[in-house]
Structure formats: structure tokens, C-alpha cells
């Protein structure tokens, strides 16, 4: 009798742990949103991961960000960077739930160019 009570208690404890450890379905979904992205007229450099060389790229930041981030000139799908111009872009930002190991977890796709201004 006592062993059955212990068995039932152990079963309930294991069942509780199993239920608690299940992740939400939302953790496995990409997050998609529209954001405003600013592109600086000045370029910068970033470290290219495969060969550890420093490469020239464009500087971007989202609304409210304090610092510029240097990324590849091809980082924003559908956008072609022109030197000496600063941009305000409306983009679709996709944060990947399960990104590939060899790349970042954020993808940008141009919706439209809000403004473009030549800087001297």
C-alpha cells in the first residue's frame, strides 16, 4: 500500500516536471515586424566571420537605438546602398527563432525608402 502511494507521488512529480518543461509554441516561430531603419552616409568596418578579415560595410540603426551597427552592403534585401547618401527606410524585420549557425538571427527586407539625402 505504501509503495503504491510513493509510486503515485513519483508519477505526479514526473508529470508536473514534464508539463512545466514544455516550451511555448511561440518560442519556435519567427517574429516579423515593420521597423524604421536609418542608414548612415558614412561607412564602417565589421569582422567577416568566415575569414576574420575586416570588411567595409554600411552603418545602420533602428529607431531608438543608441549606436550604429556596421553590416554588409547586402544586409537589406531589395536595397542598394549609394555612398554619400543617408536613408530612412521602412523595412520588414524578421527575427529568426532558429537561425542558421553561420549567420545572424535578423533579416531585413526593404518595404520602401522613406527619405534619401545626399551628404557632403
* Stronger pLDDT, 27 or 113, i.e. the higher one: 113
Band (104; pLDDT cuts 50, 70, 90): confident
Q: What angle do CA 70, 74, 80 make, to 5 degrees?
A: 105
* Stronger pLDDT, 38 or 25, i.e. the higher one: 38
Question: For residue 56, is pLDDT > 80?
Answer: yes
Q: What is the pLDDT of residue 90?
A: 98
C-alpha cell at 7: 509510486
Q: What is the pLDDT of residue 26?
A: 55
H or E, element range at 3? helix 2-21
Amino acid at each position: 500500500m505504501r509503495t503504491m502511494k510513493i509510486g503515485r507521488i513519483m508519477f505526479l512529480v514526473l508529470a508536473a516536471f514534464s508539463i512545466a518543461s514544455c516550451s511555448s509554441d511561440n518560442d519556435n516561430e519567427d517574429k516579423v515586424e515593420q521597423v524604421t531603419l536609418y542608414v548612415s552616409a558614412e561607412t564602417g568596418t565589421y569582422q567577416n566571420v568566415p575569414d576574420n578579415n575586416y570588411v567595409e560595410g554600411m552603418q545602420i540603426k533602428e529607431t531608438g537605438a543608441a549606436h550604429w551597427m556596421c553590416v554588409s552592403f547586402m544586409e537589406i534585401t531589395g536595397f542598394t546602398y549609394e555612398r554619400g547618401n543617408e536613408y530612412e527606410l521602412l523595412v520588414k524585420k524578421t527575427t529568426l527563432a532558429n537561425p542558421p549557425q553561420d549567420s545572424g538571427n535578423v533579416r531585413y527586407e526593404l518595404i520602401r525608402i522613406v527619405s534619401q539625402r545626399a551628404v557632403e
